[in-house]
Amino acid sequence: MGNVTVIGAQWGDEGKGKIVDWLASRADVVVRFQGGHNAGHTLVVGDKVYKLSLLPSGIVRGTPSVIGNGVVLDPWALKAEVEKLSAQGVVITPDVLRIAETCPLILPIHRDLDALREDASGAGKIGTTRRGIGPAYEDKVGRRAIRVCDLAHLDELDPLLDRLCAHHDALRAGFGQPATDREALRAELSEIAGFVLPFAKPVWRDLDVAQRAGKRILFEGAQGVLLDVDHGTYPFVTSSNTVAGTTGPGSGMGPSAAGFVLGIVKAYTTRVGSGPFPTELGDETGQRLGERGHEFGTVTGRKRRCGWFDAVLVRQSAAVSGITGIALTKIDVLDGFETVKICTGYRIAGRDYDYLPPHSFDQERLEPVYEEMAGWEGTTAGARSWADLPAQAIKYVRRIEELIRCPVALVSTSPERDDTILVRDPFAG
């Protein structure tokens, strides 16, 4: 039995929460390795709905969970999320949750800067969640971040604050804002330190011990491959690498840690916020997909843009992230459509493309090339075996496999955890 990495293979919101929850019951450890509390995972367990942003999805099942060093951590958001889940009956202790001592912190000045930039960007807005994710990652690579381990050494914080404020105060002045209130920041950190520090551990060591003992480690990605800062639809991306190769550096493990890479893919396509979307439907069909799929962002509440399945983009995601197999979700949303379409290529000024050109000028001009298939009668909702699916729905799944050049490992047919068709067990390799 090996490790499994779960990533979104579109623009996020593919239904990773349910799949991770389904796998977490068979994992020994669940690890978040990138992103921050801009992610949103919804878990449905019995009659309870849990909405997570920062905590690994395994926490709901009591599976030991790790927030790796590749995550940027808002300690106040962490506290609020722990308190919310505790009120729902989820027990979260340092025995269950461990946080890398080297996680960079998201501070109030990061949230300020995120909002100031977005408000001043005019037509250049990229639709950030304004939660400070990008500025926190900037400070990490700029070597001026305050990290979890610094909370245990607040008396030695002055050199860090000097570096941090030298950068931020210049930016704040440019936006007409006052300099950072260093004492207020120090007081806020002092107040939250007591909550965070009991969870702080050398998680790289814990994961090394688990790996050597043959434990099953489940890596949980946030956002989606098309939001990767290198491989996504730049600049409308997140500020971290979301591809599977990030599991090692984001957790303190080696490059072979990822194991079986499971790409989560919706049976259609959605996107939140700005950026290119070749198959977007602004008509009644798009509205129907959104209503049936309840397409609103878990974190922001923003309405998601909807469109037909784009095999070109998923094939690209599978290639750059080394996806072993996909989990196809929300196929039940397509129940009842007379016809369904799959994008198989793009055309720009008479020239055909089998990939998404990287420049926005080309992306704005492209036209999707569609393959149309008959829809299916009956329902896929709640199906737990191939025999429960209409024949035409199976044809749709098989055609997706052919076009993206990647096999289906799981099919999810409702938000319920057990409404899943298992084709290939990711933990079996």
By DSSP bridging, strand 367-374 and strand 339-348 are antiparallel
By DSSP bridging, strand 351-353 and strand 305-307 are unpaired
CA distance 165 to 389: 59
From residue 372, how far is each of 266, 340, 341, 381, 399 by CA, in Å? 18, 6, 5, 22, 11
From residue 54, how far is each of 32, 255, 289, 382 by CA, in Å? 8, 24, 28, 29
Query: What interhelical angle do 158-174 and 108-120 show, nearest 10?
Result: 20
H runs (alpha helix) in 284-327: 284-292, 311-321
Confirm whether 352 is a catalytic residue.
Answer: no
E-strand ranges in 38-196 read 41-45, 48-52, 65-67, 97-100
Helix (H) or strand (E) holding 205: helix 203-212
User: Side chain identity at 410, as an amino acid letter?
Assistant: L
Say if CB 331 and CB 292 are below 8 A apart.
no
119 torsion bin: left (phi>0), alpha (psi -120 to 50), beta (else): alpha
CA distance 50 to 38: 16
Say if CB 123 and CB 274 are below 8 A apart.
no
Catalytic residue among 21, 28, 37, 41: 41
Confirm whether 13 is a catalytic residue.
Answer: yes
Phi, psi of 101 (to 5 degrees): -60, -20
Say if CB 306 and CB 334 are below 8 A apart.
no
Which positions are annotated as active-site residues?
Answer: 13, 41
